[in-house]
Amino acid sequence: MPAYYNQIEKALKRNDFVSVNHRIASFLASYFDIIFAINEMSHPGEKKLLKIIRDNNLKIPKEMYENIESILKLTATSSLDILLEIDDLVNNLDGLLVSEGIKAHERK
């Protein structure tokens, strides 16, 4: 996930809108891979993922829908605020991984 973050940040700074869009799509594809793995569900493909998650009542991180909607809206503007939403999305995913016993809680 950090590699995507860095690539998105660089693309934003150089105002490369196509690259931002491509990197966000790749980031979200990996994110959804993790969501389906946590739920021990075969990945259904790339269409209607949010609907499938909702219809199957899958375990998801808090604020996932809101974060993803915000990221997608911000992608159109190429705002650096995308990075804040990605931080929230990933931090909330980490929280889910910890609560599911998949990731150890990090001490600071």
Would you say residue 9 lies in a domain? yes
Would you say residue 106 lies in a domain? no
* DSSP SS3 for 105: coil
Which pLDDT value is given to residue 108? 56
Would you say residue 108 lies in a domain? no
88 vs 108: which has the higher pLDDT: 88
Q: Which range marks the domain in which residue 61 is found? A: 2-99
Would you say residue 105 lies in a domain? no
Instruction: Supply the pTM of this predicted model.
Output: 0.90
Instruction: Identify whether the C-beta of residue 8 lies closer than 8 Å to the C-beta of residue 83.
Output: yes
The DSSP call for residue 69 is H
Would you say residue 13 lies in a domain? yes
Percent of the chain past pLDDT 70, that is, above it, reads 94
Cα–Cα nearest to 68, from 44, 48, 86: 86
Q: What is the count of structural domains for the chain?
A: 1
pLDDT digits (tens, 9 = 90+) for 13-54: 999 999 999 999 999 999 999 999 999 999 898 899 999 999
Would you say residue 65 lies in a domain? yes
Instruction: Identify whether the C-beta of residue 92 lies closer than 8 Å to the C-beta of residue 31.
Output: no
Task: Say if residue 94's pLDDT is above 80.
Answer: yes
Instruction: Identify whether the C-beta of residue 82 lies closer than 8 Å to the C-beta of residue 8.
Output: yes
